[in-house]
Amino acid sequence: MTTDTPDRILRLKTVLQRTGLSRSTLYRKVDQGTFPAQVQIAARCVGWRESAVADWMHNPMFYSVEDAAR
């Protein structure tokens, strides 16, 4: 699915609100490869691509980073 709008970067607070996950669960899922990895924005600043979070939300039980990379 392509859109004319650019992919936004979501900060931690927004990702937690959208997913309903706790901070510790989110980072555990990132480490396990069952949630999209964050992208570096600046030296001490990270975020998540909105499209990657949306992909995860379509099927959170069976999401895999390896599957999303294909």
| Residue pLDDT tens, the chain, 70 long | 555 667 999 999 999 999 999 999 999 999 999 999 999 999 999 999 999 999 999 999 988 887 776 6
**Token digits for 9?**
């970067």
Helix (H, G, I), strand (E, B) or coil at 40: strand
Amino acid at 23: R
Q: Are 19 and 34 in contact (CB under 8 A)?
A: no
Map tokens 């990702």 to a residue.
15
pTM: 0.82
Q: In this structure, what are the phi and psi dihedrals at residue 9, rounded to the nearest 5 degrees? A: -100, 125
* Residue 2 identity (one-letter amino acid): T
Nearest CA to 27 out of 9, 10, 15 is that of: 15
